[in-house]
Amino acid sequence: MRIAIVNDMPLAVESLRRGVLATGAHQIAWVAHDGAEAVQRCAADKPDLVLMDLMMPVMDGVEATRRIMAATPCPILIVTGSVDSQSPRVFEAMGAGALDAVNTPVLGIQGAVHGCDTCETFQSKIMTIEKLTRRAVTARCAPFEPQVTHVMGGEERLVVIGSSTGGPQALANIVSRLPADYPAPIVIIQHVDAQFVGELSRWLDKQTPLHVRLAREGDHPEVGAVLIAGTNDHLVMNPNQSLGYTPLPRDQVYRPSADVFFCSVAENWRGIAMGVLLTGMGRDGAQGLLKLRNKGSHTIAQDQASCAVYGMPKAAVDLNAAVEVLSIDLVAAALIKRFPEAADTRKRGASSL
């Protein structure tokens, strides 16, 4: 890949340059020293990947990401000194279209690249992005018949959401509009590294009256809670309605995968599920959303106009997996409309005992 570096610090530029060239598989397209220069360079010579710093003079990495994705969209990886300390800005950049984030590798005394994020971690991010952008990823659902449709039985409700590029802001848009007594548990698969998914959950928790936390092995979805896949393994719904993690399938590029989770919900959830697929690069979640629809679930895909990257929702629309295609500003209202009476139903049932 031809990789561009956007950073105003000479030492960081050299660290990134050595990290990129160390594998022998990539080359440096160009170097920009602020966001405004990066926007201009992308317009003149679009690279395969941009390594974008956050804090820079003239124009910061968030605004540069937003402008590049609007004018000459290309994959962007946020590379900053500390992902944890910059987490709100990281999520803002991901909302603008950045794929992922990683700490900047640093040069040691002997000129080797090392640090709290090793060079291997940095390079693995680049390899993953290359796989996402250069080959389609097929779903790993069990075989099913597309023409079969029936309504799930049972009274328990569940909302499942898959998101990737641009996902943090889209998720915040949804959960901030849901009431504290929303009558269905929510489980989210967001393509984000386990290194800072905890920060994502804490950030989202501040946006909503619901309680947002990481999903734990053995958890059962609960009303009032928003659970987020919390490792680089795949989250799955088990036959006993509990959540678990699995490394399989190992060759799935998306980790955690929305397809893997959606398919497990379609196969094992005994109540009524609703599936939502939001902005993101690639095709993850499209086949799983189709399986949910074919099991009787109401399914929603985010529309092109409101997506940072219209990849995953487009794949779902192309498969006819979405019952509705909605602007992100309308998704929360649709979730409320589909499950409007569950809380009252539970109260009536309890009072009749």
- Reported as a single tens digit per residue, the pLDDT across 314-340 is 999 999 999 999 999 999 999 999 998
Burial of 195 (0-12, 13-18, 19+ CB in 10 A): middle
Token pair belonging to 23: 């594998």
Output the pLDDT for position 150.
39
Separation between Cα atoms, residue 121 and residue 176, nearest integer Å: 33
Say if residue 283's pLDDT is above 70: yes
C-alpha 149/C-alpha 216 separation (Å) is: 32
Active site residue 164: yes
The mean pLDDT of 41-53, rounded to a whole number, is 97
From the list 15, 164, 257, 306, the catalytic residue is: 164
CA distance 49 to 1: 7
Residue 24: C-alpha distances to residues 20, 45, 104, 259 (Å): 8, 22, 19, 33
pLDDT tops 60 at residue 223:
yes
pLDDT at 103: 86
Domains and their CATH numbers in the chain: 2-134 (3.40.50.2300), 157-351 (3.40.50.180)
CB 276 within 8 A of CB 183: no
CA gyration radius, the chain: 21
For the stretch 201-212, pLDDT in tens is 999 999 999 999
Where would I find the H helices in the chain? 10-21, 35-44, 61-71, 87-96, 119-134, 167-175, 197-205, 258-268, 286-294, 312-318, 328-338, 342-351
Question: Rounded distance, CA 295 to CA 291, Å?
Answer: 6
Among the ranges given (31-40, 87-96, 219-228), the one the predictor scored with the smallest mean pLDDT:
87-96
Q: Which of these is catalytic: 284, 297, 303, 306?
A: 284
- Is the pLDDT at 221 greater than 90? The verdict is yes
Say what the pLDDT of residue 137 is. 44
User: How confident is the model over 69-97, as pLDDT tens digits?
Assistant: 999 999 999 998 877 778 888 888 988 88
Q: What is the C-alpha to C-alpha distance for residues 276 and 283, in angstroms, rounded to an integer?
A: 14
Is pLDDT at 347 greater than 60 in this prediction? no
Q: What is the band of 100 on the pLDDT scale with cuts at 50, 70, 90?
A: confident
Maximum separation of any 2 CA atoms in the chain, in Å: 75
User: Beta strands 243-246 and 234-237: pairing type?
Assistant: antiparallel
Q: Look at residue 351 in the predicted model and tell me its pLDDT.
A: 37
136 pLDDT exceeds 50?
A: no
pLDDT for the residue numbered 230: 95
Provide the pLDDT for residue 108.
57
Active site residue 191: yes
pLDDT band at 193 (very low <50, low <70, confident <90, very high): confident
CA distance 38 to 326: 32
Selected catalytic residue, list 26, 33, 191, 234: 191
Confidence of residue 110 (pLDDT cuts 50, 70, 90): very low
Structure tokens at 120: 């291997």
Residue 85 designated active-site: no
Band (pLDDT 50/70/90 cuts) for residue 281 is confident
Question: In this model, does residue 144 exceed pLDDT 50?
Answer: no
3-state secondary structure 223-264: CCEEEECCCCCEEEECCCCCEEEECCCCCCCCCCCHHHHHHH
Pairing of β 234-237 and β 225-228? unpaired
